[in-house]
């Protein structure tokens, strides 16, 4: 007879399980004190860019007086990364460089380390860019070495982690600066101070009084057109920026309206547009035919408006506008705050593609989509022959492909809710709603604007950049001008005159806080500046969006037409005069300023009445860009007048003026 050993005691088993549970809890508690789990200063910041490095073994500082005070105390150089979670290179350095022990040791031993989010502190990026498109051309990130006082020693674009030969790797580049500092600190300081003195002189000489005329704007545009190649997305030797300023400028001029439409259609069909989800990808060094994989809410909304404006008779563009609006509302809207997150990060940690967005040729076989450049893997695009395809057919094609994304990990959302970016998004939605004739879209814009105003605009017209107490919140001109832009455009969509009153109030406050004697705005209040490199910049160079001063001028032009206050027009003219020379030198990145100049001098409609506002509304508000400010010294019969080449004719009826406007566009 087989015998068995004693049965295990249930008490022993339960005791063993209890011990294991206690050990598990203990290990979890102690794990917080492991090096890679302990939080640094960045972990509690508002910025997504900072929070993602919040558990690294680097003593990160946010951009603050504390960081520069510490640098002075230890007499160390400052290493400052100025980037975005939407930049592939910011993600690469966080994922690889900052986890490399040798690289971390170099930073810990010789530098005070600062990480700056361009979404949270756009004025810092503008100060470094000095009215150049450096951030667009460097994929959205710069790495800067500064003296403890904040004088710039050198800035660089992305480099490989290590390379002993030119161009040096990031490790060797920083090591060379550390050696120079240890060897002769005063010599490094002297060179850095000399550099900032040169930059200050350049800024003083940058703005000179120039010509303001439609001829100049048209000449500028024709130079762009002559050098522009839709197929490659290049203007001469440079990549054309993937922003809305240039297509808008091309579209409002008689000689180039078709070129503007062709440009918009090419963007819609190409890999810069997310064919499956909607929205437009960011620029990259390789141009719009090989853009980054990141998407920002404001750019999506601006292109939704651009697609809608060109959608007459083109169902493909209408479908793209509606698809992009839907993506914004379903994917980027923070439901608790009823405002939009900044954008969707790239998952591109290597430079050969995305695990989320890229599809293979076999996966899209049998659909209308193709892989751009005849590659076997990449983002889908549309053949040129699809320009007149019915939008419902495209939607069916999209639905065939969507299931492929169900098991893929969506890239990280930058959940920062910033005023300038939300105002840009709201303005784009309002314009898209007008051209699409979709009341739901304009209502959505109005609802979001109401929330933004209640959260961020204070009684005197002061505007906060981010949630109070959670981020850097004041002193940025971009918040003010884009709030006014959103107020004007939502007014155009809704005819709510309270919005116009608020636009006047915020504009008055903008003038008080930021305007220089020449009519242009400084990017930031002087009291908010921390480091020596932050010179007073008046931004006129476009980047991912129109420049601050180009939007400021367009706001003034529209307010002059709507309120009849010609002081706004004088301010706009002064700003255009001061910037016209340098704007033309910016090439494709001066399109925002040239658009403002063209709108200042093109054919316009004058509304003559004791109260012009009801008459302006009768023009359906979408023609505000064609309205002229009346001269209070002139007394005209009530009605509509046509102004072109300095001469005025009229009065006309509303039907007659609409007919003239249509004929002018057709020509």
83-96 pLDDT, tens digit per residue, is: 999 999 999 999 99
Q: Enter the DSSP assignment of 406.
A: T
Alpha carbon separation from 563 to 486, 510, 652 (Å, rounded): 17, 17, 21
Give percent above pLDDT 90 in the chain: 53
R_g of the chain computed on alpha carbons: 28
Tokens at 566, concatenated:
């010609």
Three-state DSSP at 83 gives strand
Q: Distance between CA 119 and CA 25 in Å, rounded?
A: 39
Per-chain mean pLDDT for the chain: 86
CA distances from 127 to 94, 296, 368, 472, 531 (A): 24, 22, 45, 16, 10
Q: Band the pLDDT of 21: cuts 50, 70, 90.
A: low
Q: Are 194 and 532 in contact (CB under 8 A)?
A: no
Q: What is the pLDDT of residues 263-293, one digit of tens each?
A: 888 889 888 999 999 999 987 666 667 788 9
**Eight-class DSSP state of 343:** E
Structure tokens at 526: 């002087």
More confident residue, 359 or 642: 359
Q: Return the minimum-mean-pLDDT range out of 31-40, 240-249, 273-282.
A: 31-40
- The predicted model scores a pTM of 0.89
Query: What pLDDT does 528 receive?
Result: 86
pLDDT of residue 1: 43
Cβ neighbours of 345 (radius 10 Å) = 24
Better pLDDT: 476 or 615: 476
Q: Does the pLDDT of residue 585 top 70, yes or no?
A: yes
The whole-number pLDDT of residue 3 equals 47
Q: How far apart are CA 526 and CA 505, in angstroms?
A: 22
Degrees (nearest 5) of the Cα angle 503, 504, 510?
85
The C-alpha atoms of residue 640 and residue 628 are separated, in whole angstroms, by: 11
Q: How far is CA 92 from CA 35, 117, 139, 476, in A?
A: 21, 15, 12, 29
- In this predicted model, what pLDDT tens digit does every residue of 375-416 receive, in sequence order? 788 899 988 776 556 677 888 889 999 999 998 999 999 999
Q: Which residues are CB-contacts of 367 (< 8 A; sequence separation ≥ 6)?
A: 397, 400, 401
Handedness of CA 657, 629, 588, 129 (dihedral sign): negative
Distances (CA, A) of 500 to 370, 476, 496, 620: 46, 22, 7, 15
Question: Counting Cβ atoms within 10 Å, is residue 4 exposed (0-12), middle (13-18) or buried (19+)?
Answer: exposed
The pair of structure tokens assigned to 317 is 């563009």
pLDDT in tens, 308-362: 988 877 788 999 999 999 999 999 999 999 999 999 998 887 666 888 999 999 9
Specify the pLDDT at position 629: 62
Closest-CA residue to 125 (of 181, 160, 172, 86): 86
User: Residue 524 gets which letter from DSSP?
Assistant: B
pLDDT at position 438 is: 94
The whole-angstrom separation of Cα 328 and Cα 639 is: 41
pLDDT digits (tens, 9 = 90+) for 591-614: 899 888 888 776 677 777 666 666
CA 453/CA 134 separation, integer angstroms: 32
Provide the 10 A C-beta neighbour count for residue 99: 15
- Secondary structure of 270-339 in the HEC alphabet? CCCECCCCCCEECCCCCCCCCCCCCEEHHHHHHHHHHHHHCCCCCHHHHHHHHHHHHHHHHHHEECCCCE
Span of 301-315, 601-615, 616-630, 652-666 with lowest mean pLDDT: 616-630
Q: Could you tell me the pLDDT band of residue 20, with boundaries at 50, 70 and 90?
A: confident
Split at pLDDT 50, 70, 90, the class of 2 is very low
């Amino acid at each position: 007879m087989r015998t068995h050993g004693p049965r295990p005691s249930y008490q022993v088993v339960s005791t063993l399980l209890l011990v294991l549970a206690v050990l598990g809890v203990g290990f979890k508690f102690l794990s917080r004190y492991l090096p890679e789990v302990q939080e640094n200063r960045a972990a509690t910041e508002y910025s997504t860019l900072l929070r993602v490095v919040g558990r690294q073994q680097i003593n990160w500082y946010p951009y603050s007086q504390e960081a520069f005070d510490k640098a002075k105390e230890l007499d160390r150089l400052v290493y400052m990364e100025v980037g975005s979670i939407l930049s592939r290179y910011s993600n690469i350095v966080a994922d690889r460089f900052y986890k490399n022990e040798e690289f971390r040791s170099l930073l810990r031993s010789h530098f005070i380390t600062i990480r700056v989010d361009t979404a949270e502190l756009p004025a810092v990026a503008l100060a470094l860019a000095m009215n150049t498109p450096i951030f667009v051309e460097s994929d959205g990130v710069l790495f800067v070495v500064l003296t403890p006082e904040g004088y710039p020693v050198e800035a660089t674009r992305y480099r490989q982690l290590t390379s002993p030969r030119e161009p040096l790797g990031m490790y060797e580049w920083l090591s060379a600066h550390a050696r120079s500092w240890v060897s002769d600190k005063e010599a490094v300081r002297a060179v850095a101070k000399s550099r900032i003195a040169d930059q200050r002189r350049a800024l003083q000489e940058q703005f000179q009084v120039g010509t303001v005329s439609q001829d100049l704007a048209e000449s500028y545009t024709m130079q762009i057109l002559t050098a522009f190649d839709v197929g490659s997305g290049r203007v001469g030797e440079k990549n054309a920026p993937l922003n809305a300023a240039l297509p808008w400028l091309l579209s409002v001029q008689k000689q180039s309206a078709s070129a503007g439409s062709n440009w918009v259609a090419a963007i819609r069909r190409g890999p810069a547009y997310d064919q499956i989800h909607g929205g437009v990808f960011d620029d990259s060094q390789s141009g719009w035919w090989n853009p980054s994989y990141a998407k920002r809410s404001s750019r999506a909304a601006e292109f939704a408006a651009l697609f809608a404006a060109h959608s007459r008779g083109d169902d493909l563009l209408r479908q793209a506008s509606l698809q992009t609006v839907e993506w914004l509302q379903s994917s980027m809207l923070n439901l608790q705050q009823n405002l939009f997150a900044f954008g969707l990060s790239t998952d591109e940690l290597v430079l050969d593609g995305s695990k989320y967005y890229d599809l293979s040729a076999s996966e899209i076989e049998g659909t209308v989509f193709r892989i751009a450049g005849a590659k076997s893997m990449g983002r889908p695009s549309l053949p040129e022959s699809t320009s007149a395809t019915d939008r419902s057919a495209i939607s069916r094609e999209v639905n065939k492909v969507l299931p492929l994304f169900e098991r893929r990990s969506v890239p990280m959302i930058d959940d920062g809710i910033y005023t300038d970016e939300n105002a840009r998004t709201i303005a784009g939605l309002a314009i898209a709603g007008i051209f699409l004739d979709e009341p739901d879209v304009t209502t959505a814009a109005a609802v979001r604007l109401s929330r933004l105003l209640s959260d961020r605009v204070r009684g005197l017209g002061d505007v906060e950049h981010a949630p109070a107490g959670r981020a850097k919140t004041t002193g940025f001109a971009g918040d003010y001008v884009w709030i006014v832009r959103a107020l004007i455009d939502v007014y155009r969509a809704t005819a709510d005159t309270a919005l116009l009153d608020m636009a006047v109030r915020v504009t008055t406050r903008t003038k008080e806080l930021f305007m220089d004697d020449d009519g242009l705005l400084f990017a930031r209040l002087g009291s908010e500046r921390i480091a020596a490199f932050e010179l007073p910049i008046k931004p006129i160079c476009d980047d991912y969006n129109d420049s601050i001063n180009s939007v400021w001028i367009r706001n003034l032009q529209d307010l002059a037409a709507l309120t009849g206050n010609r002081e706004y027009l004088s301010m706009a003219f002064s700003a255009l005069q001061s910037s016209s020379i340098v704007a033309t030198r910016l090439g494709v990145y001066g399109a925002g300023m040239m658009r403002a100049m063209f709108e200042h001098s093109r054919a316009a409609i004058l509304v003559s009445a004791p109260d012009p506002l009801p008459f302006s509304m009768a023009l359906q508000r979408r023609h505000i860009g064609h309205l002229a400010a009346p001269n209070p010294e002139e007394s005209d019969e009530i009605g509509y007048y046509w102004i072109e080449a300095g001469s005025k004719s009229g009065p006309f009826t509303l039907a007659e003026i609409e007919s003239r406007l249509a004929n002018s566009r057709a020509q």
